[in-house]
Amino acid sequence: MPRCRASSRPCGVSATSLYPMATKPRLSLFWRTFVLLALLLLGSVLAWTETLHELESEPRAMQTGRQIASMVNLSRAAVMHTDSITQVSLFKTMKDQEHVVIVPREPHDVIQLLNNDELNHYMAKELKNRLGPNTLVAESVNGVPGLWIGFDINKDHFWLQTDRSRFDQPEAKTWLIWLSTAAALSLLGAAWMARLINQPLKDLSFAAKRVREGDFEASRLDESVSTNEIRSVNIGFNRMTQKLARIEEERAVMLAGISHDLRTPLARLRLETELSVSDRSARQHMANDIAQLDAIINKFLDYARPDHIKLDPVELNQLLAQCLAPLRERPELEIKVTLEPQLMVQADAIELQRVITNLIENAARYGKSADTGIARVEVSAR
């Protein structure tokens, strides 16, 4: 923007870049709301999953213990009510069909007891409650893995071996599928809620942009929304835009009326100047002043029209030459111009010319040196 300071030192008129500096990318309100909601929902899903897992562990372990105890009791009853020959056939059938092995328990058996974790603790406790305190529960006997239950039939000791996997919890893959489904639904819900929350603010931002550009008709907001707070904001915004539109219309009418009213006396003044002033130089200066007033009136008329702002490429050196031509003859001004050749700026030529002229006039009026009575003006671009 051109600028000038009134002082005894040289005064500079500077041109700055027309393009705004790049700003740091920032997280929009939608994404911030989405991330916060997503974290909240995902945290809730994980908390509920862990809670259900903890609440399920003891009942599942006790149920497993009851199933194993029933299997042992059935095996015990079958052994007690069959002879030795039938027992061999029975044991083979149980092994082939149910994957249950019953073998005698020897004193020299190498036993590896179950890990004393929470699930095994509840299962072993349930088995001892149902089968007796001398019940053994092992995960390996003589190096053979499995679920081994030691029980007694009269004075004989036996092992019942079965596959531990038939009593295990669902695979981690199942939990992973459920957690992934819950997480995906949570993210979709978070996106929907974030959009629902931020849509009124987005509409308000769009309407404010339309007002800034002077389009009052396109800036109307919905006054029939169900939320009381949003409806109140929308009604207040619409009333404000209506008042702004009325003020803008009155301003345009006033500027147009004043401009038209000034044209008639200005035309008479131009005619009187041409007929009455005999000095050619004075007549020329007066004609230039009248032309400048006429250009200002035209600019007022432009202000009165909608969408009056229009920026065009302007050659700054040529514009400065037009501005400085009538000023270089003034003895109290010393003007120095340091501009690159063919320097182009995006501006309204008449407005920029008026700004530069006013700046230099102010420098000539208030920036004179106390010693020499001369105002030094330096025009540069950066």
Instruction: Compute the distance between CA of residue 212 and CA of residue 279 in angstroms, rounded to an integer.
Output: 50
* Ramachandran sector of residue 342 (left: φ over 0; alpha: ψ -120 to 50; beta: rest): left
Domain tally for the chain? 2
| Assigned domain for 336 exists | yes
Mean pLDDT, to the nearest integer, of 81-97? Answer: 77
In the chain the first and final C-alpha atoms are separated, in Å, by: 10
Q: Rounded to 10 degrees, what is the CA torsion of 122, 126, 131, 134?
A: 30
Secondary structure letter of residue 325 according to DSSP: T
CATH code for the domain of 375: 3.30.565.10
Q: Choose one of 173, 207, 229: the last residue of a domain.
A: 173
Task: List C-alpha distances in Å: 373 to 9, 95, 358.
Answer: 12, 121, 19
| Residue 196, number of CB atoms within 10 A of its CB | 10
pLDDT of residue 27: 64
When pLDDT is averaged across residues 115-119 and rounded to a whole number, the result is: 73
**Distances 17 to 333, 345, 360 between C-alpha atoms, Å:** 28, 8, 21
Any domain includes 122:
yes
Q: Is the pLDDT of residue 134 over 70?
A: yes
Question: Of 154, 173, 192, which marks where a domain is finished?
Answer: 173
| Segment 149-158 mean pLDDT | 80
Would you place residue 12 in the very low, low, confident or very high pLDDT band (cuts 50, 70, 90)?
very low
Mean pLDDT on 167-181: 70
CATH of the domain at 76: 3.30.450.300
Residue 178 lies in a domain: no
Position 371 scores a pLDDT of: 81
The set of residues, in sequence order, having a beta carbon less than 8 Å from that of 249 and lying 6+ positions away, is none
Residue 294 lies in a domain: no
Q: Which residues contact 292 (CB under 8 A, 6 or more apart)?
A: none
* pLDDT, tens only, 282-310: 777 777 777 777 777 777 666 666 555 67
Cα-based distances in Å from 150 to 73, 106, 109? 12, 11, 11
* CA distance linking residue 280 with residue 273, whole number of Å: 10
Long-range CB pairs of 9-12, under 8 A, 24+ apart, other chains included = 9/376, 10/336, 10/376, 10/377, 10/378, 11/359, 11/363, 11/367, 11/375, 11/376, 11/377, 11/378, 12/378, 12/379, 12/380
> What is the model's pLDDT at position 244?
86
Check pLDDT > 70 for residue 41.
yes
pLDDT digits 0-9 by tens, 230-275? 888 888 888 998 888 888 888 777 777 777 777 777 777 777 777 7
Boundaries of domain holding 58: 30-173
- 188 in a domain, yes or no? no
Domain final residue, candidates 173, 188, 215: 173
Spell out where the chain has E strands.
11-13, 101-104, 111-113, 136-141, 144-153, 156-162, 312-315, 333-338, 344-347, 375-380
Flag whether 305 is in a domain: no
Q: Closest by alpha carbon to 146, among 138, 135, 154?
A: 138
Averaged pLDDT for residues 183-206: 84
Q: Which residues pair with 158 in a beta bridge?
A: 104, 151
Burial class (CB in 10 A: 0-12, 13-18, 19+), 190: buried
Strands 156-162 and 144-153: antiparallel
Average pLDDT, the chain: 77
Question: Which pLDDT value is given to residue 195?
Answer: 83
- Does residue 72 belong to any structural domain of this protein? yes
pLDDT digits (tens, 9 = 90+) for 337-353: 888 888 888 887 877 88
